[in-house]
Structure formats: C-alpha cells, structure tokens
Amino acid sequence: MGPRCARLVVAAIAIVFVSAGCAVSDDASARQDTTAGASTSIAPIPPPDPTDYPARAVAMPTGQQIADLPAEARAQVLCAAATSQQWQAILGEPPILRRLEDGSCGVYTTGLRARLAMTEAAIGNPRSPIAGRPATGEVKTATRDLVAGTELTVLLVDDLPTGLNFKPRLYLTMSPASGNHRVDSTESLAVRAAESVVPRLISPGPRLPGYQVFVPTPTTPGVGIFDLAVQVRTNRLCTVALDVLGPLPPHATIAPNDDYCIVGYTGGSPDEHSGRYDPWWSYTIMFDPQTAFTGVQSVSPGQLLPLDEGAYAARLTAAPGQPPLRISTSGANTPLPVPAREFAQRVVTTLLQP
C-alpha cells in the first residue's frame, strides 16, 4: 500500500471514530435531557369529571352499614372519613377531594394521588393491624406498565349475613403523581391515611338485617334515607308501606329485596290451589335509576308523576346521584285497601319528613 492510500485509510478510520463519538455523545445527551425532563415534569391534577358527585353533608355509618352503602353515599362517607387538615398533615399540602361515580373517593395533591374505596376481597399479604383491624398490603415498584405505590385493605366489618355481595374492606391506594420521582416510599403515607380514616368508618350499631328479612325500621334522627345501607333503606320502604296500609289481612306478605319492597296479599287458604278469581293486591316501592328516564326530573321533589295505570314516579331530592322512586299498585277481584295515588303520595310525604 502506497503512502497516499495509507493516509486515506487513516483519515477514513478517524472519521468513523469521530462520527461514532458524536453519536454516543448525542445519545447520552438525549437520555440526560429525558431524565431531567421526567424529574421536573409532574402530571397535573386531572380536571373534575362531570360524573363526580357534589359534596354534601352525610351521616357516618354505624354497625355493618359501611359494607352495603350505595355508590353515592359510599363516596361521600369515604371522603368525609378524614378532614382536609388530616390529609394535609399526611400529604404535606391541602388536598383536592373528589367523590367519584364508582363510589370511591379520590384525593389529589400536586405530587401524590390517593384513592379510597370499598372492596370484597383482600389484596396483598397479611400485615400488622391498622387501627386495630386486620389488614393486608402490597408495595409495588414502578415498571414500564405499572405505577409505583402502595395498596392496603383493612377489614372493617365481619360476620355479615349471607346472600348479598357486600364490600366489607377498605381499599386504599397511595402513589406518586406521574413524573414525580421525589417520593421515596408511599407505604408510610398509606398507613397513616388508613389509620386516620378507619376509626370514622366503624362505630357501634346494629347488624344488617339479611337477605329478604324484614326488620321494622323507623326514621333515625339526623340520618336521611340516602345515607342508609341498601338493606336498611329497603326495610325503611317496607316500614313506610305498612304505616300507610295499616294492619294487614291474613296471608299478606312483606318482601324486602335489593332497594325495593313488595307488600302483597292473596285471598284463600295457602294450602288450597289458587283460583283465577281469588282476590289479590300488591304494592311496590322501589328506588329505580331507570325511572329517571320517564321525565321525573321535570317535577319538583315530592310531586307525583303518573306513569302506567296505578304507577307513579317521584323524586325525594333534586341532588344528583340519587335515584327516584317508582311506586306501583295492582290487584284484582277486591278493592285496594288504599287507592294507588293516595298510597303513593303518603309514601312520598312520609319519606320526605326529616
């Protein structure tokens, strides 16, 4: 190889090394820029969702009711279980609380995200009790598809009646906001939060009545019907129906179910085959979200909206998130003990009383 060729080869090799060096330097700079950007760019607090429930005063549950609250009441109770001052002491800044459509409570600060919900199953491994209640938990490290954070479940009530899908456990999650790399551990924050809210969710009180079990349920001062567990407010509907109907004839039945109650009567002996001419009647009161599509939103709370024959809809409140009532009557071969419209109006009037 001549001197000229040798110089060309050396020059070419030098160009290759210089190019490679530039490529490595540029790649490293890009990683540094990305890392720097990730450490300073924290995802903002998400804007409110139109489906969020507005905050309202709520009665805290007693006994086993926390395991059977409807979604709106559950979200209100979970957000009311700790004060803003308590959250600020735990998270380091004032929080924004949102009562979410699924019945959970979202807690947001500029750097942290927490969520409180109720669940059926325990998550993670057993750990030391929280506020004296059995607890499980799991600490998750960040991966490409997983946000770092802590999950806790705390058993609030036990020995529940069988037959319904109760949610007896508090489910609490704590995680840094996306892009927040300044949080060393969320476990201690999650435990402190759980220790603050659990005592507010458990207080002495009666057991839930059980599936299709009627227990007379009078009004509780200071507790609205929308603050009650589903089983309890179902029994409240049955109690109001009986107050309006008065003493029942033999063979009448009282059937509380899932947010509705049926009081019915069939004449004749239960040991005999029922004939087509036997007298019968029934009254049904139910909280029915589907009734909202009947136009009941256009009438004021307490007013009746006629539906089908012997059926009426009514709202007990104009607040969002609360299902309207559907009240229906039917019967044959005997007069109704209380006319349909009178029954519906008296039920609504009674339920509106504080």
At 154-201, the pLDDT tens digits run: 999 999 998 678 999 999 999 998 888 777 679 999 999 999 999 999
Residue 306 lies in a domain: yes
Identify whether the C-beta of residue 237 lies closer than 8 Å to the C-beta of residue 285. yes
Number of domains in the chain: 2
Do 193 and 236 lie in a common domain? no
**What are 81-107's pLDDT values in tens digits?**
999 999 999 999 999 999 999 999 999
Do 177 and 281 lie in a common domain? no
Distance of CA 220 to the CA centre of its chain: 23
**What are 4-28's pLDDT values in tens digits?**
444 434 344 343 333 344 333 333 3
Do 229 and 193 lie in a common domain? no
Identify whether the C-beta of residue 97 lies closer than 8 Å to the C-beta of residue 45. no
Do 197 and 69 lie in a common domain? yes
Residue 312 lies in a domain: yes
pLDDT for position 268: 64
SS3 324: coil
**Two tokens at 100?**
């979410």
Residue range(s) defining the domain that contains residue 257: 225-352
Residue 3 lies in a domain: no
pLDDT for position 27: 32
Residue 9 lies in a domain: no
Q: CB 260: neighbour CB atoms within 10 A? A: 17
**Amino acid code (one letter) for 55:** A
Do 264 and 312 lie in a common domain? yes
Residue 36 lies in a domain: no
**What are 41-78's pLDDT values in tens digits?**
678 888 889 999 999 999 999 999 999 999 999 999 99
Distance between CA atoms of 160 and 139, rounded to whole angstroms?
A: 29
Do 73 and 157 lie in a common domain? yes
Do 76 and 196 lie in a common domain? yes
Identify whether the C-beta of residue 114 lies closer than 8 Å to the C-beta of residue 172. yes
C-alpha closest to that of 166 among 118, 99, 209: 118
Segment 123-129 shows an average pLDDT of 97
